[in-house]
Structure formats: C-alpha cells, structure tokens
Amino acid sequence: MRLSFQLMLGFVLLFSLAGWFVVHIFTNEVKPGIRSATEDTLVDMAQLLAPMAAEDLKSGSISDGRLAHAFSQLNQRPINALIDGHLKQQATYRIYVTDAAGIVIYDSTGKDIGADYSRWNDVYLTLQGRYGARSSPENPAEPNNTVMYVAAPLYDRLKIIGSLTVAKPNVTLHPLIQRSEQKILQAGGVLLLLSFGIGLSLVWWLNHSVSSLIRYANRISQGELPAAPKLYSPELTRLGHALDSMRRQLDGKSYIEQYIHSLTHELKSPLAAIRGATEILNEHPPEAVAQKFHHNILQQSQRMQRLIDRMLQLARLEAGTEQNRTPHLMSGLLDKVMQSRQTIAERRGIQISKQLDHAPTMICDGLLIEQAIGNLIDNAIDFSSTGACITVRDHLTGSHYEIIIEDEGSGIPEYAMDKIFDRFYSLPRPDKPKSSGLGLSFSREVAHQHGGDLVIQHRQPHGVKAVFSLENA
C-alpha cells in the first residue's frame, strides 16, 4: 500500500471519527439545552403571574378575576409569529392554580378543577416553599409526549396560600430541536468535507515533498549534482540537508579518490623513465650516454614537480583558500600577462596583438587571473605555427566582463572537445613534450570562482577561440 494512500486513509478515518464525535455530542446536547432554556422561561412566567393569582385568590375571584380574564383573551386572535422559519399561531401554555391543600381551584383548560394535585412535585414542593417542577406524560398511552410543569408559590404576606403552575408541552419544542439538529448535521457535513479537503491537501503536499526527496536521492545515485529541493517543512528540510550533506561527503570522497587515481596515473610515466635511466646508469655507460640519462632524470623530476605543484594549486583553488581579491585595472593586468609571453612568442615567430576597448577596474584575485589567462595564451602559442597571430580582446556586457583569446593554430579535434577540461587530458604539442593537462581545468575553476566561466570554441576557418568571463560586480 502506497504511503499517500495510507496517509489519506488515516486522515479520512481520523476526521470522520472526530466529526461523528462532535456531531454526536452536539445533537445530544441540543434537546436538554432547549428544554433548560424553556424551563427558565417558564420560571420567569410563573413568578410574573403569581402575584396576580394571589390577589384573585385572596379576593375570592380566582375563577373570574384578572388572571382568568387574561387567559380567556389569550388565543382569540392568531399570533402569526414566524420564529426561525416556524409559524406560531397560538399560545401553548396551560395554567392551573391550587389552594394550600393542593386542590385545583383554577385550570385554564377547565378540565381538572377540583382535582387533588397535592402529590405532584410541582405543587407538593412549592407548597413547602421549595422549587417545584416536573415533566409528566400528557397521555399515559404516549409516554414520550411529555409536558413540562413549573410552579410558583402564592403568598398572603409571608404565608403560602396556594400555588400557580405554568405548563408547556414539550412537543412544541420539537420543530426547533429538529431544525437545530439539522443545522448541526449540515455544519458537521461541511466540516467533514473541509477536513477531508485539508487532509487531501496535506497528503498531496507531503507526497510531493517526499517525491522531491526521492527524485533528489535518485539523481545523486546516478552521479548528478542537483541542488537540494526547497521543502516548506523543518523536518523535511533537515532531511534534505542531511541528504545534501551526505552527497557532499560522497562527492568529497569521490573527488579525493579521483585525484589520487589521476595523480598516480600521471606519475607512472616519469617514475618509469627515472627508474629506467637509473638502471642504465648503474651499468656505468659511456660519459655521453650517462649525460643523456642524467638530463632525462632531471627533466622527468621537473615534470613531476610541476605536476604536483599544479595539482596542489588547483586543490587549494577549489577549496577557496587561494583568494586575495583587490581592485585591478584589467588593461594593466592583461598587458603584464602578454608581455611575459612576448619573448617566447617572438622566438617562434608568433605575433600577439591586443584590442582592449573596455578594460574596467574589477575586484578580483590578480595573480589567479594572470595565471588563468597565461594558461590560455600558452596553449595558443603551443598550437600555433610560425607566422600566426594571437589576438587578445575584451567585451563588456551588463553582468560579465569577457576576455577573448583567438589563435590561428591547428584547432581542437572533435573527439577531444568533450575532454579538454578533464584533468590530465592533454593533446600532443607539435614541438613540446606532453603538458600536465591541468591548465584548462585551473583556468575554468578561476573563472567559476569569480562568477564567470570558460568556453572553448572552434574558430573559422581554423584555430581556437577561448572566452574567459568574470562577473562584473
């Protein structure tokens, strides 16, 4: 079972249970709450009518006094009260009055006059000076059809001379209770749908975030270097950072392994040459032969030293420990680089020209820029023939400053275009031994450290165009 389906099922069950629990509580509380509110109203009404009934009882006119007259006029006209969608046409109150013995002496319905109500709680408790109320079936055959009775004492000064009871059928409350329960159920249904929608959104978001992490981990496993996904959750963000940290550690391990492997591979040839020359020298060859092999040992040792120095320099650059940025006028910096190569170029009959139209002042590491541009000019000289021309020009864009080196050499074969930035990859020079193969890697890393890039392109009809860019901050 998929995680998203499990989460969705869990949310649905949780919200369904919570919704049912809330609706169940509310529906069970509606009926008692409405009845309590009705009882409170009946208490107020009984207390309001009690003084009037007491005056009629003392004057002996309880059957035709003010109380009886008021109730005789009660339902002569329709009320026409629209209460929460329910039309109320007449009052549903019943009032009866008892004497001190609990005998009914007035009944608004006129049916129970003379009856003994002294044992009913409303009368019994009230005549004792306590709060009297009861709820009894109006018809014994219908036990669920109950009537609420609330009584108030009738006083003659401090003496209780009777009781007045106000009664209201509970059936009149059923429309209100049903409407309240219906609204609660509707609200519960809406709440359930909203909860379902929120749960669905949360599940979708969580599934999307987990899928992003899975895709990120898969790309890492395939050897890619993706950026960590943006996850709007502290826990998932920490998980993403943990994956990114793991990726960086693995990259670092792979990087070191690659470095060691590459360095070992490149050192094999000079070490083999040195070992072979040493074995021959141990045999005491003629002086001319010995001088030749001594020179070979010195040459290979120098090659190893240059290789190790370039490796260390590139490693420090990639680690960010070779940075010393200060303002530099680019025209002066480029002139310095070209002048240092001018003698070598003239010896080979190669002309170096410059077309610097901008040459702004930039914040950079001047030494690194000199080395990077120098590597590019050195490569142009190495692959150019006598009489060729190397052009150094610049171009300023909105965000970058570009240094462009163009030569008229033999160019780069198509098969080598994808490998020229690989460490230790070097094409054979016409009249020089194989280089370290680190120059272009170093130059591109310098460009990257300065917010730019190094692009190598073919130049028509022949030659190479190198575009070294720096961020124009």
Q: What is the CATH number of the domain that holds 302?
A: 1.10.287.130
Indicate whether 263 and 279 sit together in one domain.
Answer: yes
Inside any domain, residue 361: yes
Quick one: pLDDT at residue 116?
93
Residues 20, 145: one domain?
A: yes
Provide the domain limits for residue 176: 3-180
Give the integer Cα–Cα distance in Å for 266 and 133: 106
Residues 59 and 176 in one domain: yes
Give Cα 419 distance to the centre of its chain. 40
Same-domain pairing of 314 and 396: no
Domain match, 288 and 354 both: no
The whole-model pTM stands at 0.43
pLDDT band for 254, please (50, 70, 90 cuts): low
Residue 191 lies in a domain: no
Question: 112 with 96: CB under 8 angstroms?
Answer: yes
pLDDT at 1: 47
pLDDT tens string 295-325 = 878 877 876 776 676 666 656 655 555 567 7
Q: Which of 57-66, 334-343, 428-437 has the lowest mean pLDDT?
A: 428-437
Together in a domain, 314 and 334: no
Find the mean pLDDT for residues 391-407: 88
Residue 426 is part of a domain; what is its CATH number?
3.30.565.10
Question: Which residues have a Cβ under 8 Å from the Cβ of 163 and sit 6 or more positions away?
Answer: 97, 98, 102, 122, 123, 126, 127, 132, 151, 152, 153, 154
192 is a domain residue:
no
pLDDT at 291 over 60: yes
149/108 same-domain check? yes
Domain co-membership, 56 together with 134: yes
Confidence (pLDDT) at 84: 63
Interval 434-453: pLDDT, tens: 666 677 887 888 888 888 89
Does residue 185 lie within any of the structural domains? Answer: no
Q: Could you give the number of structural domains in the chain?
A: 3
Q: Are residue 60 and residue 154 in the same domain, yes or no?
A: yes
What is the mean predicted confidence (pLDDT) over 9-29? Answer: 72
Q: Are 49 and 159 in contact (CB under 8 A)?
A: no
Question: Of 288, 319, 350, which residue sits at a domain end?
Answer: 319
Least confident range from 19-23, 156-160, 456-460: namely 19-23
